[in-house]
Structures are given as structure tokens and as C-alpha cells.
Amino acid sequence: MTALTPLRTIPQGNLFRQGDVFVLFGELFGRGYANGLINEARKAGMTIIGVTVGRRDENNALRALTDEELAVAEANLGGRIINVPLMAGFDLDAPAGELTPTDMIADMSLKSWQTDKLDWAHIEKCREVGVSRFKNSVAQVMAELDRRIPDGSNVFFAHTMAGGIPKVKVFLAIANRIYKGRGERFMSTRALLDSDLGKLILKNFDEVTANTFQYLIEGSAAIRARVEQTGGQVRYTAYGYHGTEILLDGEYQWQTYTSYTQGQAKMRLERIAEAAWEQGVKATVYNCPEIRTNSSDIFVGVELSLFPLLFALRKECDGPWVEAQWQACRELLQEGTSLEALLQRIDDYNANDVMKSFRNYAAWPMDNSEALANLMIGTSEEITQMHKDRKALVTDHLSALVLEGTGPLMFRETSQPSAPVLWLSHDIIAKQLCLLHA
Ligand SMILES: NC(=O)c1ccc[n+]([C@@H]2O[C@H](COP(=O)([O-])OP(=O)(O)OC[C@H]3O[C@@H](n4cnc5c(N)ncnc54)[C@H](O)[C@@H]3O)[C@@H](O)[C@H]2O)c1
């Protein structure tokens, strides 16, 4: 188990400058964490280079972006994109002419999936095909990058990849129950993890969320060697999740979203950074707070830990800017609903014994329970209803603040990173936001 090692002081390092190269290893979406780093790279005048995961054609074959898609993606990134599909995972890979894992689970039904068995020898062959496809694509990307990275420049590789849920109808229905179901629709994560389907999904999570970081570090070894020989330095970052310290009862305390089925993959990601670090490679996983993005919206209740950020801001730097954040949140609530009443609801939720029983770092990631699902999903729904508009939530505002705070923290700490695994919790994020605004 990794020791809990939160970043406690605002980093002062500043390695990166005009002409250095920032490589985003994953695609950029509107609300995604990577925007925090991209903003810093842009401010520093770095050359920004991105990649794509590619797209699937009507036969599910992986293809590069069309000229039009490429132009849109490059405008969004503010940099060139190397157009080689880097879709990770093996859910749609197989030896030529054979069934893919997605084909193998396509016939599972809501009635049968818990007892349906998979041919693991065949799955392993598919995994090997997927890994070798991905590594070959990384090699092509690196060959192209090598041409674009000048001798002696500093290079920042930012890994953002996470995912791996196969696209089959039955899993949509299961996911709706595991991540959103309560009462009669509740389903335990244990049921999923004990099934062959669940085991397959965890293997795919490992590939997408963790192993891609390893393939990035290995695949860029030649670039690293050349840059370092010519006076530059190379850094790697990845986004982890392993719970977050938030302000509860006046103290920063560790808590987590449950059920985080990607937890094992995120711990594997931490071990990859630790192993690279031991080899002298500066790779750091930053375990970041729960925010709402395209990827996290499926996890109903994940956003509840964001509200105490308002208290953290008051604790770290009360003043007009913090008051303006409170006010911006107030304005999103229905007439007659106070922010104080909402925050009281969150306090009660966090003080509940059911929630407390999940604040167990050593046991992470724990399975969910029906009591947890009822409480968390119920609270999430109640809080959403306190808003004027379900599409403009306090947690949108707070997510944007967290994202903004992580940018400079990660960018500066990575100049001279102190460890392979660091937590960015609400304390340091509030301190960083105060420094930026207050
Ligand atoms: N949102 C949160 O609450 C939260 C908290 C802590 C850490 N993170 C991590 O931050 C990182 C960015 O996520 P985000 O929440 O900003 O969402 P996002 O949707 O903006 O980013 C997800 C990333 O994963 C990539 N991706 C998805 N499936 C892929 C596949 N099969 N192959 C290759 N790449 C794939 C996408 O291209 C994108 O870059 C992830 O590693 C995520 O786990 C998120």
C-alpha cells in the first residue's frame, strides 16, 4: 500500500520556458483535468503537442482523425496533434478473424452475466494483440515527436488516459445499477468484481488507466536519453485518484468516493511511477480530488466531496475573492434555498456513520453497500434539486476552481518533483487558489 503523501507546500520550481515541449498523452475535453496543465504550458510559452485516441469506423476498425476532425482537435488544443490512433485497451482487439472481448460478451444478458464464463486463454491472446497494437502506435508517435523536440529542450509528458469500459448494452444496464442504483435498483460492486465480466473490465482498466503510463515511459526512452545528453530534462506526470483530504469538522480528513472500481488500476499507476522513479526517471502520479468531468459524470455522488472546498477557501484566505465564490454558488440555488442549508445537508451526510465507515484508507477501494448507495445517491439527488437549473450546479463552479488550482501546483512541482506519488488535497488547492486570487 502506498503511504498517504499529500503535497503540503506550494512548489516554487520553474523549469519550463519558451521553446520547451509539452506533450499531452490523451485527448483534451472541455472540463478535463488536463486543461489546468495546458494553461500553464501555454503561459510558459511551451510548444504544445497532442495525440489522439483515433475514432472507430462503422466496422469498429480504429482509424486516424479526418482532416476536419484534426483541425477541430488542434484548434481546441492550441497545438499540433500527431495523428496516430492511441486507443488503449483490448476490448475490440483479437487475432485476425477471431472474436474480440466485446464480441465475447455481446450476448450476455441482465439475467445471465453473473454466471456467464469467459475463455481466459482467448482473452489473453486479445490482450496481447491490443498491447502490441498500442506499443507500435506509441513507437510511431515517438518517431514523429523525436523530430519535433529540439536538442537540449525540456520535455513535459502529461498522461491523462483513464477508462476501459467496453461498449456493450448489458454493461450500460449494469453500470446504471452499480453507479446510480439505489433501493430495488441497487447492485453491489462485489457482484460485478466476482463475475468474469467484471474481471475482464478490471483487466481493461489496468491497460487503459495504468499500463499506458508504462508504455509512454518506455516508448520515450530514446528521446529522454537524447534530450538529457544535450542538457535538457524530461518529466512525466499522470493523474491518479486515491481519495482526497477535505475539510470535515474543522480538520482536513481523508475520504473517498465509493465504489471506485478503477481503484486497483490507479494503484498500479502509482507503482509504475514508483518503479520508474527508482530507475532515475522523474515520473509523478498526482492523486487529484473528485471533480465533475465527461469521465466522472457517470459516478453519481462523486461530486459531494467538492462542497467543503468552500470552507477550505474560508480557512486559507477569507476575503472578498472567497466571498465572491460563495456568492457565485448562492446564485445557482433556487429562490428560498440558502447555501448554508445546502452545506448543512453535506455536513450531516459526512457525519453519518455509513459514510464514516468508508473512510478507511487501508481498505481502499472498498465495495459499495446498499446503505451507502441510498445515502449518497439520495443526497446527490436532493442537492441537485436545490438548484435553479440541473445543468448549472455549484459543483460545476467548484470543479473549475479545483482544476485551476491543480494546474500551477502540478506544473511547478514537476519542475523538481519531491516524490513519485503525491496527493493534491483541498488544503493545498485552496492555498494555491488564494495565492492566485486573494
Ligand atoms: N474527474 C475526477 O474526479 C478525477 C479525479 C482524479 C483523477 N482523475 C483522472 O484525471 C484524468 C483525466 O480525466 P478527467 O476526469 O479530466 O476526464 P476527461 O474525460 O477529460 O479525460 C479522460 C482522458 O482519458 C482518455 N481516454 C479515455 N478512454 C481511453 C482509451 N480507451 N484509450 C486511451 N485514452 C483514453 C481521453 O482521451 C482523455 O484524455 C484521468 O486519469 C482520471 O482518472 C479524474
pLDDT digits (tens, 9 = 90+) for 139-162: 999 999 999 999 999 999 999 999
pLDDT band at 381 (very low <50, low <70, confident <90, very high): very high
Contact between residue 421 and residue 17 where contact means Cβ atoms under 8 Å apart = no
Residue owning the nearest CA to atom 10 of ligand 1: 239
Residue 295 CA, closest ligand 1 atom number: 19
Count of domains in the chain?
Answer: 1
pLDDT digits (tens, 9 = 90+) for 357-370: 999 999 999 999 99
pLDDT at 184: 93
Cβ of 288 below 6 Å from ligand 1 = yes
pLDDT digits (tens, 9 = 90+) for 103-124: 999 999 999 999 999 999 999 9
Average pLDDT of the segment spanning 74-100:
98
Percent of the chain with pLDDT over 90: 97
Is the predicted pLDDT of residue 259 greater than 90, yes or no? no
**Structural domain boundaries, residue 245:** 21-437
pLDDT digits (tens, 9 = 90+) for 24-37: 999 999 999 999 99
Is the predicted pLDDT of residue 352 greater than 90, yes or no? yes
Does the residue 418 lie in any domain? Answer: yes
Does the residue 53 lie in any domain? Answer: yes
pLDDT band at 242 (very low <50, low <70, confident <90, very high): very high
pLDDT digits (tens, 9 = 90+) for 265-307: 999 999 999 999 999 999 999 999 999 998 898 899 999 999 9
pLDDT digits (tens, 9 = 90+) for 401-427: 999 999 999 999 999 999 999 999 999
Average pLDDT of the segment spanning 70-91:
98
Is the predicted pLDDT of residue 49 greater than 90, yes or no? yes
Is the predicted pLDDT of residue 201 greater than 80, yes or no? yes
pLDDT band at 327 (very low <50, low <70, confident <90, very high): very high
Residue 88 CA, closest ligand 1 atom number: 32
Average pLDDT over the chain, rounded to an integer: 97
Residue from 51, 82, 160 to probe ligand 1 pocket by mutation (most atoms less than 8 Å from CB): 160
Cβ of 32 below 6 Å from ligand 1 = yes
Q: What's the 230 CA to ligand 1 centre distance in angstroms?
A: 33
Does the residue 220 lie in any domain? Answer: yes
Does the residue 201 lie in any domain? Answer: yes
Does the residue 377 lie in any domain? Answer: yes
Is the predicted pLDDT of residue 1 greater than 80, yes or no? no
pTM above 0.85, yes or no: yes
Cβ of 162 below 6 Å from ligand 1 = yes
Average pLDDT of the segment spanning 161-174:
93
Cβ of 423 below 6 Å from ligand 1 = no
Does the residue 4 lie in any domain? Answer: no
Cβ of 88 below 6 Å from ligand 1 = yes
pLDDT at 297: 87
Q: What's the 161 CA to ligand 1 centre distance in angstroms?
A: 5
pLDDT at 2: 77
Cβ of 163 below 6 Å from ligand 1 = yes
Does the residue 145 lie in any domain? Answer: yes
pLDDT band at 438 (very low <50, low <70, confident <90, very high): confident
Residue 89 CA, closest ligand 1 atom number: 31
Q: What's the 399 CA to ligand 1 centre distance in angstroms?
A: 14
Cβ of 160 below 6 Å from ligand 1 = yes
Does the residue 8 lie in any domain? Answer: no
